[in-house]
Chain A
Amino acid sequence: MTQPAWRQMYNEWEKAVAPSLEQLTASDGFRDVMAVGTQISRSIMAETEKMSRQWLHMWNLPAAGDVRSLRRQIASLDNEVQSLRRSLDAANAAAANAAEEPTLAVVEPIAEAN
């Protein structure tokens, strides 16, 4: 089945344009621009957040950042508890295995019949 004319035209356009665009996005210049852009947007975000936090703290209210920080701490504690639980389970299992292992004992030979 042949493709419609508009699609064939698009394909030709794409074939012509895509390599240059890919080259552009892979260039060092593009990376530098992205790095600067990211830094600027990051500092604007940080500054805005700082101002809103100060304002909320002025009214003795928690900011979103405070809640996020608390959630992070809880998650970190939770991971630590889970890790300890797994270590404890492993230690218990090892202890149980050790207890099940047969101990050496003096066994008297069974007298053979006849």
Chain B
Amino acid sequence: MATQTDTLSEQFQKTVGDMMANPVGFFAEEWNKGVKRSWNLTRHLMGIDTAETGVTPRDAVWSNAKTVLYRYRNDDVTVREPILLVMSLVSRSFILDLQPGNSFVEHLRDRGFDVFLLDWGVPDEEEAGNGLDLYTDQLIPAAVAEVNRMTGENGVNVFGYCYGGLLSLLYAAAHPDDPINSLLVMATPVDFREMPKAMSGVGRDGIDPRDILDSTGNVPAASIRAGFSLLTPTSDLSTVADFWERLDDDKFLNSYQAMTSWTRDHIPFPGQAMIESTEIFSDGNGFINDDLVVGGRRRHLRDITVPFLNVIAERDHIVPPASTRGLVELVGSEDKNEIELPAGHVGLIVGGGGRKRCMPAMSDWMLSQSTVLED
């Protein structure tokens, strides 16, 4: 308490000092700040001029029900093998293309890749019966085949993020003859004993997954968001504090709007996939115990033989490093590697650290596995 009083006292003395030294300048600056804050607050609450997300030009090139395959426009493709980004089932895909200058897709495009994104859409009752096999044995293989066909049959670099990484692993393990050039998974949960307790509450020893399905047969988006909030219960309040503190900073407000539009906008999780995930991973720890039966088909990570990279985020509080470390030992590839990058779950692909260190580390590896075309 003494520390807080001291802080307040120091702040007060500093403010009075500034005011006495240059009263006109002090009040002018405070007035300007006040006007700016009021305007930015109004703008934010009224939804005026809000940050745009996912704006890199792209075309929908294939679809199946709500699943859409996008191809990002790039007139300067210099890498022969394209990249297919496989998104998670719980969040929106625009996190991979957040904002101009802060976009993983843009980074890959600028390095010469032909970039494709597999977006699952927003599930409703039509997707409630989608099991994991639909994603790993039908949709991803069809998307890979389509990307391969469109880009000259050279093989595809598959990139899976978070739960998308888990799907990519299940897919690659069951389809070793598919045209996969390399496989990179990032922040992918593997050892479910190491997952945060607040997230592993669903399962044999806790909540029955069937109890969290809503009337559409899916896990509602609000429950998914609540699950993430439970990991760091004060984070929402801290976000509001950040917002209030830096309300006069236009650049901050723009990034804040883009980021919160993603963190607060989860999508429902298909019910059947949730039930299967709970049985296979939360209860059975299928990757670690080599007990993966999906859609009646047994698969083994050792059957993955393509060049492989596992990317771990050092400060990941959603998929802690311990829950994904060691994956590289389970896959059968000869050319395989595991890297830990100094970032959080999202910081790998967003923000200054992501741009400077993480994105280049991942694209460098994918370039090393691909063929750079001569001019």
Please classify the interface of chain A as helix (H, G, I), strand (E, B), loop, or mixed, using the class held by over half of its residues: helix
| Closest chain B residue, CB of each to CB of A37 | B207
- The contact of A31 among B207, B214, B232, by CB within 8 Å, is B207
Count of interface residues, chain A, beta-carbon cutoff 8 Å: 41
Q: In the complex, what residues of B have CB within 8 A of residue A82's CB? A: 64-65, 138
- The contact of B125 among A8, A25, A26, A71, by CB within 8 Å, is A71
Is A35's CB under 8 angstroms from B201's CB? yes
Is B245's CB under 8 angstroms from A42's CB? no
- The contact of A21 among B12, B212, B216, B234, by CB within 8 Å, is B234
| Closest chain B residue, CB of each to CB of A32 | B206
Tell me the bound Cα distance from A35 to B232 in angstroms.
20
A26-B198, A71-B125, A72-B125 known; A83-B233 Cβ under 8 A: no
Give the segment of A11-19, A95-103, A106-114 that binds chain B.
A11-19
B304 at the interface (CB under 8 A from A): no
B368 at the interface (CB under 8 A from A): no
**Contacts between chains A and B (CB distance < 8 A), count:** 99
B22 at the interface (CB under 8 A from A): no
B21 to chain A, nearest CB (A): 17
Tell me the bound Cα distance from A10 to B196 in angstroms.
26
A76 at the interface (CB under 8 A from B): yes
- The contact of B8 among A5, A45, A49, A86, by CB within 8 Å, is A5
Give the segment of B70-78, B88-96, B126-134 that binds chain A.
B126-134
Tell me the bound Cα distance from A10 to B205 in angstroms.
36
Is B211's CB under 8 angstroms from A9's CB? no
A56 at the interface (CB under 8 A from B): no
Q: In the complex, what residues of A have CB within 8 A of residue B32's CB? A: none
Tell me the bound Cα distance from A32 to B325 in angstroms.
29
B179 at the interface (CB under 8 A from A): no
Tell me the bound Cα distance from A38 to B208 in angstroms.
9
Q: In the complex, what residues of B have CB within 8 A of residue A32's CB? A: 206
B289 at the interface (CB under 8 A from A): no
A25-B198, A72-B125 known; A79-B138 Cβ under 8 A: yes
